[in-house]
Structure formats: C-alpha cells, structure tokens
C-alpha cells in the first residue's frame, strides 16, 4: 500500500494566482501593515495604561498633611516636641500589641493644632504588616475596643 504524502502550502490554484498577482500582493502587504498598526496601538495603550495606573497608585498613597485650624488656639507644642512625640507614639504602637498608656500619656495635654503638628511629624509609617498608615489610622487600627476609644476621645475630643 502506497503512503500518500500531504502537500504543504497553498492547495488552491486560484488562491495561489491571486496571491501572486499585484492586487494579491497589495492585499497581503495591506494586511501586514494593518497588523503592525494594531500591535503598535495596543502597545501604546498598554504603556499609557500602566503609566496611568502607577501614577494613580502614587497619588493615592501620598501623605496629606493635616492643616491647622486658625479658629482654634495655636499649637501648644513646638516642632521638635511634635517630632519627639511622633517617635514615642510610633515606638508604642509598632510590633505586637500597642501600649495604650504610653499613647494616652503622649497625647494628653495636646490641643487640636498640637495634635496636627504631631500628625504631620508622624507622616506615613510602615506597620509590622508593611502597610503605611498615618497617625490617626494607626490609632484607629490598634485601639478598637470601646473602652480604649472612650479613653482616647476623652484625651482628644473631636479627633477620634
């Protein structure tokens, strides 16, 4: 029994004649040009989309400082004291378990604009879970019980 061999390539002579004609060559080159245009547009859209996403993430994760309120009394601490308090708060809340007493002692006596200075000095800091949070976000994350919240609201009414 003879084994039949399959022919590879264009099996239809009409298609072969069309592809070898000037009109066929023009159609084939037009298809190739269209394919390149589609690939180019897709690449541009992908680059713009990725760049836009990165810009959005940078914008969303930026630190927005807390403004002082001119209708309230001026801050009752200096910038250096605010930095020291921010460090103390960070050390009290970082790691396993937050120290509520240190947080309460550090925040006690601050007025609204004083808290604003401490908030700005704290900035955004990484937690043990590697998420970046502001001071208010840290405090809300660490102290969730009703009794802890009441103590914080007593120290700084209107902030928590």
Cα distances from 52 to residues 38, 62, 64, 111, in angstroms, run 21, 15, 20, 40
Instruction: Note if the pTM is more than 0.85.
Output: no
Q: Are residues 85 and 55 in the same domain?
A: no
Q: Are residues 145 and 95 in the same domain?
A: yes
Q: In angstroms, rounded to a whole number, what is the distance separating the alpha carbons of residues 149 and 100?
A: 10
Cα distances from 116 to residues 10, 30, 36, in angstroms, run 77, 65, 56
Note whether 135 and 107 are within 8 A (CB). no
Q: Which helix (H) or strand (E) holds 138?
A: helix 135-142
Residue ranges making up the domain that contains 151: 79-155
Q: What is the pLDDT of residues 54-85, one digit of tens each?
A: 888 777 777 888 888 899 888 899 999 999 99
Q: What is the pLDDT of residues 102-120, one digit of tens each?
A: 999 999 989 999 999 999 9
Q: In angstroms, rounded to a whole number, what is the distance separating the alpha carbons of residues 67 and 79?
A: 14
Q: In angstroms, rounded to a whole number, what is the distance separating the alpha carbons of residues 123 and 83?
A: 10
Q: What pLDDT band is residue 99 in, cutting at 50, 70 and 90? A: confident
Q: Are residues 106 and 150 in the same domain?
A: yes
Q: Are residues 148 and 99 in the same domain?
A: yes
- What percent of the chain is modeled with pLDDT above 70? 86
pLDDT given for residue 14 in this prediction: 61
As for how many domains the chain has, the answer is 2
């Amino acid at each position: 029994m003879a084994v039949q061999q399959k022919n590879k390539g264009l099996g239809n002579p009409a298609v072969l004649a069309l592809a070898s004609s000037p009109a066929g060559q023009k159609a084939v080159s037009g298809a190739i040009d269209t394919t390149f245009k589609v690939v180019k547009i897709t690449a541009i859209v992908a680059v713009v989309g990725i760049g836009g996403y990165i810009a959005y993430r940078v914008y969303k994760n930026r630190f927005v400082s807390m403004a002082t309120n001119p209708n309230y009394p001026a801050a009752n601490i200096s910038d250096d004291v605010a930095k020291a308090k921010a460090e103390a708060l960070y050390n009290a809340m970082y790691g396993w378990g937050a120290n509520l007493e240190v947080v309460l002692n550090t925040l006690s006596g601050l007025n609204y604009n004083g808290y604003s200075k401490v908030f700005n000095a704290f900035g955004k800091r990484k937690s043990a879970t590697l998420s970046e949070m502001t001071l208010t976000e840290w405090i809300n994350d660490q102290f969730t019980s009703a009794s802890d919240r009441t103590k914080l609201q007593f120290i700084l009414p209107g902030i928590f």
